[in-house]
Amino acid sequence: MSITSHHPSYDASLADWKLMRDAYAGERTIKAAGRAYLPSTPGQELDGMEAPESVGSKNYQAYKLRARFPDYVTTAIESLLGIMHRKPPTIELPEKMKPMLERGTVEGESLWMLLRRINEHQFLTGRCGVLADVPDGADVNTLPYLSLYRAEDIINWDNGERSDPVLQNLNLVVLNESESRRTDLFDWEMVTKYRVLVLGDLGDNEGVDAGAKYWFGTFESDAAYEEGAMVQASIGGSSLDKIPFVIINTKDITPEPDAPPLLGLGNICISIYRSEADYRQNLFMQGQDTLAIIGTIAEDPDNPDNKPRVGAGAMLNVQDGGDVKFVGVNATGLSEQRAALQDDKEEAGTMGGRLVEARKSDAESGEALHMRMSARTASITQIARTGAEGLQTVLRMIAEWIGEDPQAVTVEPNLEFADRTIDGDTLVKWMTSRTLGAPLSLESIHRKLQENDMTELTYEEEMAKKKQEDEDAGLGDGGLGTGVQNVDDDLDNNAKS
């Protein structure tokens, strides 16, 4: 019985997760992986690639050094996070849980920052997990804290079988918590640790409302599972009938992994990296022509060793019938390589940097921009909603654990991904439509202005302030003032009716 065993879906997804995480980390990490991402050439293999001091190994290092890895994955994820979190989410908690808003994680982060990290993992690997945990000896006043786990750290899980005559329930999770531990004042060592979360008996698959309790235990190295090492988590004697762990994917919060949403972009970046290496290798070889001497070099009194010399002022005197020339790499394929690279970069730009085009054209109204953005950000909306749902689910587990109302917990993500600032043209069109009989009240227009952060006043406060300003400006009688007064009177009559 080994706690280091992996779920089959974990093994099937691990290579994709590693590729995306390495691509996000950037060029240094990609190059450190060596031939995993950039295979050596046949010539380098023939020159003894495996020996570090061989010609083949040195040529490979130069080949890798010249290549460039594009940072499209990093740029795309940072841009998408910026768009998603241009406004903070709305998180409502019961009074007892409100301290978690500012300090909700084991690292002391706010719940807003935790949600941003959840979204980062969703974009990167398409998966993460959040655990609600409590320190030993927690009393009734202790609030749990949240811990975020990467996709690679959730190594095993079980939520029952579909053939079971019960509602499926998460009843086993194994987490890799390996980390560096300080051994003395300054030195560190890597410690391999695993956390096992179990609902009820490890051998059973307890369904929803089965009455089983949540147990956990931590094990170092490759230690075998010991039931006696498991502890029932409780707060002031109150335990949970579910594992307080939520797996968050891009589309749902079920245990089965989703594919990373930007996996296609990551694959294109690897393709660009390899093509870059070949292209720059060929460019390098263009300037490394080989001197070819046909025949024998005549003896030169000034050069007793009879070594060939090249460059300005040098002369090679060959015997009759001989020839001297430089032989280089044919440059015929360089243009095709450059064109292929450009095509890949344009496709990567479309998938990454231009996934969401937030620029507003001169002729485009704020509402038109919003409609276009909504159509192009459906996948971002889905990820935002799923991340918020996952965080809300684990917070509701905490509320239940400490005796609060779970329904009092709500997490609403920001779904306004574009700046919808209302321009003058849009406002004029609204007012014109209203004048022409459109069922659009001034109060509705004011609400639109509030939604777009153009005013913080209520409708009544806004109209009272406007009326006072008109009176102070002497606009109450005749001309424009009469028109303004008539609008105000019409507004008052509408409000009374």
**Percent with pLDDT over 70 in the chain:** 78
Facing residues of 197 across strands?
173, 216
SS3 357: coil
Q: How many CA atoms lie within 13 A of 304 on its CB side?
A: 0
Distance of CA 114 to the CA centre of its chain: 13
Q: Is residue 250 part of a domain?
A: no
Res. 36: pLDDT tops 90: yes
| Reported confidence tier of residue 140, pLDDT bands at 50, 70, 90 | confident
| Reported confidence tier of residue 200, pLDDT bands at 50, 70, 90 | confident
Q: In this predicted model, what pLDDT tens digit does every residue of 224-269 receive, in sequence order? A: 788 888 999 888 888 899 999 999 999 999 999 999 999 999 999 9
Lowest mean pLDDT among 196-200, 258-262, 325-329, 404-408: 325-329
Per-residue pLDDT at 297: 66
Q: In this predicted model, what pLDDT tens digit does every residue of 62-108 receive, in sequence order? A: 999 999 999 999 999 998 999 899 889 999 999 999 999 999 998 99
φ/ψ of 477, rounded to 5, equals: -130, 125
Q: Is residue 130 part of a domain?
A: no
| Reported confidence tier of residue 387, pLDDT bands at 50, 70, 90 | very high
Average pLDDT over residues 377-393: 90
Q: Is residue 319 part of a domain?
A: yes
Cβ neighbours of residue 204 under 8 Å, at least 6 residues apart? Answer: 171, 212
Lowest mean pLDDT among 12-16, 143-147, 329-333, 395-399: 329-333
Q: Is residue 391 part of a domain?
A: no
| Reported confidence tier of residue 477, pLDDT bands at 50, 70, 90 | very low
The single residue listed with the structure tokens 């302030």 is 465
Compare 274 and 497 and report the one with higher pLDDT. 274
Per-residue pLDDT at 358: 45
| Reported confidence tier of residue 372, pLDDT bands at 50, 70, 90 | very low
Q: How far apart are CA 462 and CA 472, in angstroms?
A: 15
Q: Is residue 340 part of a domain?
A: no
Res. 309: pLDDT tops 70: no
Q: Is residue 311 part of a domain?
A: yes
Among the listed residues 111, 189, 199, the one whose alpha carbon sits nearest the alpha carbon of residue 148: 111
Per-residue pLDDT at 332: 67
| Reported confidence tier of residue 343, pLDDT bands at 50, 70, 90 | confident
Q: Domain end: 327, 344, 378, which one?
A: 327
**Could you tell me if 249 and 118 are in contact, meaning their C-beta atoms sit under 8 angstroms apart?**
no
Res. 391: pLDDT tops 90: yes
Per-residue pLDDT at 493: 54
* b/e sequence 333-361, b meaning 16+ C-beta within 10 Å: eeeebeebbeebbebbbebbeebbebebe
Q: Is residue 486 part of a domain?
A: yes
Residues of the domain holding 319: 289-327
Q: In this predicted model, what pLDDT tens digit does every residue of 352-367 receive, in sequence order? A: 654 444 444 444 444 5
Q: How far apart are CA 397 and CA 140, in angstroms?
A: 16
Cβ neighbours of residue 103 under 8 Å, at least 6 residues apart? Answer: 109, 110
Q: For residue 81, how many other CB atoms are within 10 A of its CB?
A: 17
Lowest mean pLDDT among 146-160, 363-377, 392-406: 363-377
Q: Domain end: 327, 357, 383, which one?
A: 327
Q: How far apart are CA 440 and CA 408, in angstroms?
A: 35
The single residue listed with the structure tokens 């009843």 is 171
Among the listed residues 29, 71, 54, the one whose alpha carbon sits nearest the alpha carbon of residue 276: 71
Q: How far apart are CA 351 and CA 354, in angstroms?
A: 6
Q: Is residue 470 part of a domain?
A: yes
Q: Domain end: 300, 327, 354, which one?
A: 327
Q: How many independent structural domains does the chain possess?
A: 2
For residue 225, give the DSSP letter: P
